[in-house]
Structure 1
Amino acid sequence: MNTPQYRFGENEVDPATRQLTHAGHRLHAEPKVFDVLVLLLRHRQRVVTKQELLDGVWGRMVVTDGVIARTVMKARKLIGDDAAEPTMIKTVHRVGYRFVAAVDEVIAAAPSALADGATPGAAPGRIAVLPFVNDTGDPQQAWIELGLMATAVDELVHAIGAEGVVPVAELLAALGDSDTDPDSDTAAPLDAVVATLGNALGPVDIVQARLSHATRAGDFALRFTTLGPASAGRSGVLDGSDPVRLSRQWARRLANALPQVPSADTRFAAAAHARARKALHEERWGSAARLLRVALDLLPHDPELQLDHACCLAGQRDPRAEGVLHSAWLDARAAGHAGREQRALQLLAACHHSRGNFAEAERLLGDGLRIAEAAGDADAELQWLLCGAQTLTCLDKPAVASWMLDRAEQLSLRLDDPVAMARLLDVRGRLALYRADVAHALASFEAAAPLNERHGLNAAAAHGLAHVGHCLLDLGRMADAAAHYQRALDHAERSGNPVAIGLCGACSVRHAPPQDADALLARMRSAGAPPATVALAEAFALGRRGLLRQAVAALDRAGHGMAHSQSFGYHAAVLRTRLLVRLGRLDEAFDRCEELRARAAGRLQRAMLGSSLHLRALVAHAEGSQRSALALLHDSLGAQGPSIARADARLDAVWLHLKAGDRAAAHALLGEAGPFMQAALASGYVPALRVQAAWQSLVDTGRAVLHDSESHGLPSLHDLACDRGARRERGPLPSPAMQGLRDTASA
């Protein structure tokens, strides 16, 4: 049967052999990318809809529009089409794509089954790797003859399947039955070996390699020659210091040059890999890890599988991720695979970012961005800009981060990438929070959430909805925030992302009605939330029930698992200090305040400094020093931006001013918090209700009625009911540390 080949520009596509060449050089194309390109070429007279691409390339697999867009971008990159001003593959917005360049369709005759002397019904040719020839002159290197031969055969088996390679034992048996010397320097004996092995084994391609010393001291040169119908004329030289690595590189190069018929194992691994890629795209790390293990069992040396496995480890916050990613980056660099090298570098930068090593992440991001710009890779440049903006925000460089986001927005609009746009909006929201612009942050997060939901990115949607909840809390809309945390937990459960489940579950437990806490904790455990986040959520629930000692014990269980997240560690430290204040363990609470202040750094620096001052004010008030507490509360208000923590500090300050009879100061503070108070009162926020009642009593009766008893305390401690026996745990009052603090604040 005759098969068409397509030629356009310097490109040639042969669907029969699944080969794509550019200017005479064969290109490596991912299976889906090649299938999309062929489908567009076959129907170039019309627009191919996205649904047709889904049906024709992905079949029954469930993929998003973003996957199609990225596959088309990879196809453009392979054939040299400009994504900004395409001249070959045009995007028809909201419909699909069309191939518009001039194409020559060449009908090539199918190869004859009797070519090169083959007999009818003969099996396809196999590769026979001869024993390596030791040209080093060193008898101690005699092991290379069979040792490197076995290494190369093993690499070829993994690359093209066992059915395409002659086993070592079978080859040696066939050579032993003949008088042919494969180590001769002349070409005639190799021809004789081809004929001899062809008679014994059927159609084969002979490969012979010679190892000698290279010009540079300590290096070796591996020269190889091939003979046979599939690989005749191929030869070359590889240099390096490790003979074993040279033999593997040579085997991989040979495998890439041969026409390959995928084995059943290879096809099964490819199917598992495709499903794992979809799970990685949606940040379903557990599902991706299971699928990648299946694929790696079948293709353990596949570099794309290894890199995806490293990506999965990074997503699961596995400590092995950094080392695996570094190795994958070096391997991709040595192989000259630019796309894989950039992806490994980007994942390595993200890994450093997640560990709080922002300076190293910035260095790697700068290197990657320069590489992408030099290569003209708009898609890679877009991803580098988004990662860089997020890291620079944490490094207190908002101006450069804002410039990067503006550039990223131009690229995402030009590339028509809605997934990148959703991530861009998320980073813009984080930058707005850093600038204390809660309203703009809320608008950005609310715009990103539906994009993530529409494209099935459940983990990203969960994180985005949780950020919406944070912003609503900062604005005093408590009931709306609790509802968004519940929606976020639903998406996190669908994603299977344990980090997202832990974050959204802990927020839901903290802000949902107390009677819902047990059900939410059960959901977190069954969905696979990290034990540390479950323990933190338990501490919030126990504290609200007045079981303060049990809450401290839960925080002790959570402590070791909080090292990977500055945010979780911050909230755990704040809760622990508040619990210690309610328990009367004031010296220990004061020490915790100092630890929190000393750890203040990164994107949470202002929040941690402000909270440490607020917590010290709680300790001072518990010691009976109202003046010190008020001074610390005012310092706290100046140290942090608009947030629920700052609002709580303001309410505590208003309470103390009312208690001191300073109506003017209380009125001034309440006036500055007008919008927050209106929203908080409408949501039934207890501290706001208590302050409002005290103020109203002052207006009505001329004196404030304050319930500042042991069971209530300052308004910000409303969610921690006093534990019985707390009075018995108090140490001698005041402590020396607190006496010094009081004297300093009074001065």
Structure 2
Amino acid sequence: MATPLIRFGAFRLDPQARELFENGERVDLPLSTIECLIHLIRHRDRPVGRDELASAVWGRVDVSEVSLSHAIVRLRRRLGDDGNAQRVIRTVPRLGYRWVMPDTVEEPAGETPAVAADAVAVAAPPARGGLAIAVFIVGATVALAFAVFAWRMHERTPDTAPPPANSALVLPVRVDAGAEWAWLRLGLMDLVATELRRGGLATTPSETVVAQVQARGEDGVDLPAAWRVTPHVAHEHAQWHVRLDVHGATRDLAIDARAADPLRATRDATDELLIKLGRTPPADDGDDDALAAATLRQRAHAALLANQFDVARRLVEQAAPGLQASPEIALIRAKLAFYSGDYEGSRRQATELFAQLPPGADAGLRARVANTLASAHFRLARLDDAERVYADAIRIAQDAHEPDVLAHAYLGRGGVASQRVRLEAAAADFGRARTLFEAGNDPLGVAAIDLNLAINAMQRGQPATALPLLERVRTRLRALAAVDALAATEVTIVEAQLVLLDHDGALATSAAFVAPDNENGNPRRRWQFTFARAAALAGSGRLDEADLLLARLRDASDPDADAIARALAESLSGEIALARGEPARAAEYAAGALTPVLAAFNREQYVQAWCARIRALQRAGAVADAAAEIERLRAQVLAPGDGAMADPGAEVLLALAGAEQAEAERRPELALQHYADAMARATARAVPEELVRVGAPYVRALVAAGRVDEAASVHGRIAAWADRDLRAAWSAALVYHALGQAAAVDASLARARALAGQRSIAALETAVR
């Protein structure tokens, strides 16, 4: 049932959407203030204590009295009340506050009239990536119903939904001035976009526009917006002339402004545009020092948008010492380090900057710094720190009413929850971020959310659901020319293809991963690509090529910065050694993968590496050691902790390890019991890789026990993949040999030989002779 709406006076409150309307127009208030309003109204039958209100709104009671008082003052002011009249909110001495407005009524949500088209929601309540290392673009507990609702809403929402009526898109500036002013092309573009956004227009992020311009040219930009702004700037007669050509669905506008400084002229033109659109221009920030700082900030930001990291670095280094010491420039330095793959350097710089910004400083800046710091923590697998700082960024951005910063903070916190297999909390934050990105006309942000929802589906054991969504995201990101996000998406597609046993597809997707032009200026990304390509090669039996890539990763990657990629490489090397029949080497490789950083960042891959080590010990004859490892693994799998969901995929692997251990201990009946348990778990999840991983050795054990009918039944569950997966083809050959069907044995053996590549099938050849 929908949450009832609440009416009082000229106001209508939607508690579920966290929206307040006055006479049908949405009222802009920080989310914390809306939460205060909701809690006071819902408990209007009694006074609400300050601690209770702080806990309900901020999740803790140690919120400063100033924050709580400001929220109440803001509410009173917006509702036409004050501390003297107290007609709406009454102060209860030594206790707290009480809602006292008469005629406050609830009504069913379905009776609410339609909201005006330009009423944009400020959302109420950014994974493991593909193959464990496709990291989110960054980078609350709710009921399952919310996650399902959010997913279904996405499925039935077309990609070509009309833009919000108050949305704008700003193209790069056409500059008629000397070469030394070329930076104005992107610098003034971002200035116009920022000012329009501050004036209340949902303006597409500049980096999204720039990426598509680079890929398609200005005429090829195809992004939704109600207003399309093309700026021009020229230096004429010692003055700067700025013109904004604005195209809308029903009318066009032309704005002109002149000033001695290009930034001043641009701000004047943007102010006039906002006024003509019925918006209030933002307050000016002022003096010559502020203008100089803004000039440097815009030039550096322009270089960042164009992926010209060296240019941005030189601009900052050549600036006056006073400007170099400004917090905005310090943030640019931290972002430069981050985008260049120096996550530890970014963390140090952002930590120092955040400590230098007192709580009373520019809240929007503090929130952006917090997001950068949290993102660095995330990439360094410091998940506790990332979660804590993302929570700080959310709180600060809410109070500062910075929806774009808030969206990225929710995306990042959702990523942390996803890494920890807290999938419902992750889906909730992704839903909050998506609402904000859509309201802000940010298609790249929306695509990032869909990427993370697909990763979430992979974690739930739903690769067949994830893959079509990933392919749609890839199409959108290619159109947006979003290189970094596209890389993460394609790596995740490879993972989905591998678990769906589409080895040819994984090879095709990863074919360009190790090309020299795919490094994107970030060595961290290079090794993610390398590992993904090696996994695709190994899945197709091309073991030498996979080994070569993994050796390159080991030799050239950084032991600290690339610790996750190196751990994954050790795990895959262990699997390859097992496929070659080298259990001792496999056990060593797998042991090298069992690092704390992999355990923190990718629990599923950690469990897989541990199971590979157990299997290697079993095959090497170290049966007692393998048994001890299983008990240690069982203790971790069955007690995930930290609020995480139970991991059904890990439980499948654990049941399979128990079956193979019983076989190694020569206890065939117990082994068959464990195999049956593992197969039941795999069947419930219906993930092809898990079905074949369990089914093939189960068939072998049943044939060895003379239970041919049961073996044929189990093989039937994996037979669909016998033409593309070596293990399923092997299973078919064993079953047909047990049934005495020689022609079918020959056909299955031929398929196994074709699929084997460099994997040994000598045991199969012996078994069916």
TM over 0.5: yes
1:380 aligns to 2:405 (yes or no):
yes
Aligned equivalent of 1:462: 487
Aligned AA for 1:619?
Q
**Shift, 1:598, TM fit:** 3.4
1:681 aligns to 2:681 (yes or no):
no
Alignment equivalent of 2:663, drawn from 594, 605, 621: 621
1:652 aligns to 2:693 (yes or no):
no
Aligned equivalent of 1:590: 627
* Structure 2 Cα separation of the partners of residues 417 and 409 of structure 1: 9
Aligned equivalent of 1:507: 532
**Do the aligned partners of 2:170 and 2:193 also contact (CA within 8 Å) in 1?**
no
Aligned equivalent of 1:77: 197
**Do the aligned partners of 1:509 and 1:540 also contact (CA within 8 Å) in 2?**
no
* Structure 1 Cα separation of the partners of residues 410 and 200 of structure 2: 22
Cα distance, 1:363–1:386 mapped onto 2, change above 3 Å:
same
Cα distance, 1:347–1:689 mapped onto 2, change above 3 Å:
same
State the SS of the aligned residue for 2:357.
helix
**Do the aligned partners of 2:715 and 2:731 also contact (CA within 8 Å) in 1?**
no
**Do the aligned partners of 1:448 and 1:464 also contact (CA within 8 Å) in 2?**
yes
State the SS of the aligned residue for 2:723.
helix
Larger radius of gyration: 1
Structure 1, residues 203-227: CA drift from partner, whole Å, max 9, x if none?
Answer: xxxxxxxxxxxxxxxxxxxxxxxxx
TM-score for both structures, normalised by structure 1: 0.56
Aligned equivalent of 2:602: 566
Aligned AA for 1:682?
D
* Structure 1 Cα separation of the partners of residues 532 and 743 of structure 2: 38
Aligned equivalent of 2:171: 50
State the SS of the aligned residue for 1:436.
coil
Cα distance, 1:333–1:574 mapped onto 2, change above 3 Å:
farther
Correspondence list, 1:106-145, <5 A: none
Aligned equivalent of 1:347: 372
Structure 1, residues 78-110: CA drift from partner, whole Å, max 9, x if none?
Answer: 4x233289xxxx945788585599999787899
Aligned equivalent of 1:692: 732
* Structure 2 Cα separation of the partners of residues 55 and 556 of structure 1: 62
Structure 2: unaligned runs, 5 residues or longer: 1-167, 205-223, 231-243, 262-284, 747-751, 764-769
Alignment equivalent of 1:327, drawn from 338, 352, 355: 352
State the SS of the aligned residue for 1:495.
coil
Correspondence list, 1:294-693, <5 A: 301-311=325-335, 316=341, 318=343, 322=347, 324-334=349-359, 336-354=361-379, 361-362=386-387, 364-394=389-419, 397-490=422-515, 493-512=518-537, 513-517=542-546, 519-521=548-550, 524=553, 528=557, 533=565, 536=570, 538-555=573-590, 562-563=597-598, 565-566=601-602, 569-600=606-637, 601=640, 602=644, 605-638=647-680, 641-643=685-687, 644-673=689-718, 677-678=719-720, 680-683=721-724, 685-693=725-733
Aligned AA for 1:421?
V
Structure 1: unaligned runs, 5 residues or longer: 1-46, 111-254, 707-711, 724-747
Length, aligned pairs only = 507
**Shift, 1:343, TM fit:** 1.6
Cα distance, 1:388–1:691 mapped onto 2, change above 3 Å:
same
**Do the aligned partners of 2:296 and 2:319 also contact (CA within 8 Å) in 1?**
no
* Structure 1 Cα separation of the partners of residues 349 and 377 of structure 2: 13
**Do the aligned partners of 2:170 and 2:189 also contact (CA within 8 Å) in 1?**
no
Structure 1, residues 160-181: CA drift from partner, whole Å, max 9, x if none?
Answer: xxxxxxxxxxxxxxxxxxxxxx
Cα distance, 1:359–1:460 mapped onto 2, change above 3 Å:
same
* Structure 2 Cα separation of the partners of residues 442 and 55 of structure 1: 47
**Shift, 1:321, TM fit:** 5.4
**Do the aligned partners of 1:353 and 1:361 also contact (CA within 8 Å) in 2?**
yes
**Shift, 1:648, TM fit:** 0.3
State the SS of the aligned residue for 2:729.
helix
**Do the aligned partners of 1:472 and 1:480 also contact (CA within 8 Å) in 2?**
yes
Greater alpha carbon shift after TM alignment, 523-532 vs 501-510: 523-532
**Shift, 1:441, TM fit:** 0.8
Correspondence list, 1:83-102, <5 A: 83=202, 91=225, 98=245
Aligned equivalent of 2:52: none
**Shift, 1:658, TM fit:** 3.1
Aligned AA for 1:614?
L
**Shift, 1:347, TM fit:** 3.1
**Shift, 1:477, TM fit:** 1.2
Aligned AA for 2:654?
S
**Shift, 1:704, TM fit:** 11
* Structure 1 Cα separation of the partners of residues 197 and 172 of structure 2: 22
User: CA-atom RMSD, angstroms?
Assistant: 5.0
Alignment equivalent of 2:303, drawn from 250, 255, 275: 275
State the SS of the aligned residue for 1:501.
helix
**Shift, 1:272, TM fit:** 6.3
**Shift, 1:314, TM fit:** 5.9
Aligned AA for 1:82?
L
Cα distance, 1:295–1:92 mapped onto 2, change above 3 Å:
farther
* Structure 2 Cα separation of the partners of residues 701 and 620 of structure 1: 30
Counting aligned pairs with the same residue, the percent is 20
**Shift, 1:311, TM fit:** 4.4
TM-score for both structures, normalised by structure 2: 0.54
Cα distance, 1:48–1:343 mapped onto 2, change above 3 Å:
closer
**Do the aligned partners of 1:369 and 1:384 also contact (CA within 8 Å) in 2?**
yes
Cα distance, 1:515–1:364 mapped onto 2, change above 3 Å:
closer
Cα distance, 1:261–1:440 mapped onto 2, change above 3 Å:
closer
Structure 1, residues 120-139: CA drift from partner, whole Å, max 9, x if none?
Answer: xxxxxxxxxxxxxxxxxxxx
**Shift, 1:703, TM fit:** 14
Structure 1, residues 369-414: CA drift from partner, whole Å, max 9, x if none?
Answer: 3543444433223223322433344455544544444444444344
* Structure 1 Cα separation of the partners of residues 319 and 480 of structure 2: 28
Aligned AA for 1:566?
N
Correspondence list, 1:137-156, <5 A: none
* Structure 2 Cα separation of the partners of residues 409 and 356 of structure 1: 24
**Do the aligned partners of 2:419 and 2:601 also contact (CA within 8 Å) in 1?**
no
Higher RCO structure, 1 or 2 (CA under 8 Å, sep 6+): 2
State the SS of the aligned residue for 2:202.
coil
Aligned AA for 2:546?
A
* Structure 2 Cα separation of the partners of residues 575 and 501 of structure 1: 26
Structure 1, residues 212-244: CA drift from partner, whole Å, max 9, x if none?
Answer: xxxxxxxxxxxxxxxxxxxxxxxxxxxxxxxxx
Cα distance, 1:425–1:106 mapped onto 2, change above 3 Å:
closer
* Structure 2 Cα separation of the partners of residues 654 and 296 of structure 1: 70
State the SS of the aligned residue for 2:527.
helix
Structure 1, residues 23-61: CA drift from partner, whole Å, max 9, x if none?
Answer: xxxxxxxxxxxxxxxxxxxxxxxx997354599999878
* Structure 1 Cα separation of the partners of residues 184 and 696 of structure 2: 51
* Structure 1 Cα separation of the partners of residues 574 and 313 of structure 2: 32
Aligned AA for 2:615?
R
Cα distance, 1:652–1:434 mapped onto 2, change above 3 Å:
same
**Do the aligned partners of 1:655 and 1:691 also contact (CA within 8 Å) in 2?**
yes
**Do the aligned partners of 1:577 and 1:593 also contact (CA within 8 Å) in 2?**
yes
* Structure 2 Cα separation of the partners of residues 260 and 290 of structure 1: 20
Aligned equivalent of 2:41: none
**Shift, 1:502, TM fit:** 2.7
Cα distance, 1:621–1:412 mapped onto 2, change above 3 Å:
same
